[in-house]
Amino acid sequence: MKKTFKEKVYELCDAIPKGKVATYGQLAKLAGQPKAARAVGAFMRMNPDAPNTPCHRVVSAKGALTGYSGQGGVAGKKKLLLKEGISFKGSLVELSVSQWKK
């Protein structure tokens, strides 16, 4: 059975290793719909398998920590990412260091 775009996005999100992040656009492109970054954001917001599906590892194209519906909101997301070793430059994830290369 063919996977839906949503299923592909969650599968890709599951594959982001600890200590790395992906962008919404990156996941959209990898899942076959490069212009669907906003849809990826909506999927992360509705993540039915949090925290097993690590939606906290998905950030904006500039490395900003946009919305997070998990405990502590965006501050909680940053705390989780710091704990996993993600590099920040100010309030942004340093994508040149921490972005997942898939």
Condensed to tens digits (0 to 9), the pLDDT of residues 56-99 reads 999 999 999 988 878 888 999 999 999 999 999 999 999 999 99
Closest CA to 39 of 51, 30, 49, 28: 28
The domain spanning residue 41 has which CATH number? 1.10.10.10
**Confidence band, pLDDT 50/70/90 cuts, at residue 38:** very high
**Domain-located, residue 100:** no
| Number of structural domains in the chain | 1
Angle at CA 76, nearest 5°, toward 73 and 79? 155
Task: Check whether 17 has a pLDDT greater than 90.
Answer: yes
pLDDT value for 102 = 83
Is 102 part of a structural domain of the chain? Answer: no
pLDDT at 35 over 80: yes
Q: Point out the residues that are catalytic.
A: 55
Confidence at residue 31, expressed as pLDDT on a 0 to 100 scale: 98
The model's pTM is 0.94
d(CA 46, CA 63): 21
